[in-house]
Amino acid sequence: MDTITVDTPQGRVRGRTDAGVTAFLGVPYAEAPFGPRRFQAPSPPPTWDGERDALELGATVPKVGYRPPTSEILSEPVVPGEDCLNVNVFTPDVAGSAPVFVWIHGGAFVNGSNAIPTYDGTAFARDGVVAVVVNYRLGVDGFALIDGAPANRGILDQVAALEWVRDHIAAYGGDPARVTIAGESAGAMSVGTLMSMPRAEGLFRRAILQSGAGHHVITAETAGKVSAALASSLGVEATVEGLGSVPVDTLVDAQRDLSDRIAAEAPTGAWGEVAVNMMAFEPCIDGDVVAELPYSRISEGASAQVDVLIGTTSEEHAFFIVPAGLMPHITEDYVKAILAGYRADPSVLDRYREQFPDASAGELMIAVMTDWFFRIPATRLVEARSGNAYVYEFTWRSSLFDGALGACHALEIPFVFDMLHKPETERITGPNPPQQVADQMHRAWVEFVRDGSPGWERYGTERAVMMFGNQPGVALDPRPATRAVWDGVR
């Protein structure tokens, strides 16, 4: 391994170079969010004298971690330390001025980090793009509504990271005027939120949203109810002082227990919109950081100048249903109950049965939940922009669970990053995933970051969708009947 040192506005930083790509790992974009900075907005970037090593992954933020079976599919590394508001930078040339790809990880706003092996930005740098992979506060620290603290601190962290990119990325060989923000799941929901925020204006030129759009925020009332229940379970007030008095590990455990309680009580309707989306800690409409539903602001013209690439996988919700062994227990009556929770007419199921005549009840539920949670919000965001976006669908199916996992949530990520050679990849793809699909997807993402076009026509009146699978190609208005049933509902 060779090393290289660069001068940055923060001080000198030493990274490692291999095969033409230089990585700077764990570079802080804000001070550690602990002690007097706990539950506060992120600080300005720290500076230092002398030379700082950026050769190893930085600390990860406090998080609940995955349980089986999810933990058997997704990697969730933990790196100890408090300097967790950091970025990893992968660059082709520190003396260059390449376009920049900023990745915001997923994990339901309670898990994830830039230490996940699949988020290695080497392939982007290899192909002429500077990749920046961001950590941000999660769960209680990032999203609980706390008296005396700014709301949506995790989103404020993301803004701070983008400001760091604006002010520092030139020192690493990036062009701050050509920034694309991208994310998957909660990361894509974050991208949709950032697109709606005045304080993020001008920080990015393009946006990529993978399995997330502009609908997944909760009201301040619901967020307050969640925080009050958390504090009550700990015997403290929902204040900076009260929750700040609780050890970090204890607070994370209480967060997990509360999420379990909400899941158990969801059918009662006691938890508002959280009972439907099952994310207790997520951005909330606080009237300041997040002024209103992101989709609404985007439909009013926010980020109208931003190029957009957006899409989903074909069977997103198989990830949440198949590994848990739920498929044999799902009936059509249960699917109708899900539709009722979505405030959709039970007759919607008839359209899905017509679309998938041989599907089991479990497969129908996957299709319904995939559309409500992911596909239709993506469609609405595109429609709000008068078709000014590129749309894709990832159709390649994992071989795991005898093929039942299908084209599930998160499956496309190692293809986008061109990381199929990572051993962790097989935990979700199964053995021998097709490199040609990774070649196609990764190239499209690089071209979009570089030029604003991934290589197919925009989504307009013909509703063009690029299908990425064994036989990629553009489909016009795929599954129109199961799209139309959500008009006026979602």
Of 47, 116, 105, nearest to 78 by C-alpha is 116
Q: What is the mean pLDDT of residues 118-135?
A: 98
pLDDT digits (tens, 9 = 90+) for 92-113: 999 999 999 999 999 999 999 9
pLDDT tens sequence across 299-349: 999 999 999 999 999 999 999 999 999 999 999 999 999 999 999 998 999
pLDDT one-digit tens code per residue, 46-56: 999 999 999 99
Token pair belonging to 5: 């040192």
pLDDT at 111: 98
Question: Where does the pLDDT of residue 275 fall: very low under 50, low under 70, confident under 90, or very high at 90 and above?
Answer: confident
Positive or negative, the CA dihedral 258, 260, 265, 270 is: positive
5-14: average pLDDT: 98
Where are any strands of DSSP class E within 284-353?
A: 284-285, 307-313
The predicted structure's pLDDT at residue 329? 96
Query: Within 10 A of 446 (CB to CB), how many other CB atoms are there?
Result: 21
User: If you search the block for the tokens 């790992």, which residue do you land on?
Assistant: 25
Tokens 């192909």 locate to 127
- H-helix or E-strand spanning residue 174: strand 174-184
Q: Which domains does the chain have, with CATH numbers?
A: 2-219+282-307 (3.40.50.1820), 318-484 (no CATH)
Average pLDDT, stretch 149-160? 98
**The residue to which tokens 């520092």 are assigned:** 168
**For the segment 353-373, what is each residue's pLDDT rounded down to a tens digit?**
999 999 999 999 999 999 999
Q: Looking at residue 112, what is its pLDDT?
A: 98
pLDDT at 40 over 90: yes
Closest CA to 184 of 163, 213, 150: 213
120-155 as b/e, with b when 16 or more CB fall inside 10 Å?
Answer: bbbbbbbbebbbbbbbbbbbbbbbbbbeebebbbbb
Q: How confident is the model at residue 1, as a pLDDT?
A: 74
Q: Which two tokens stand for residue 238?
A: 């929902």
Q: Which residues pair with 8 in a beta bridge?
A: 11
Q: Residues with catalytic annotation?
A: 185, 316, 409
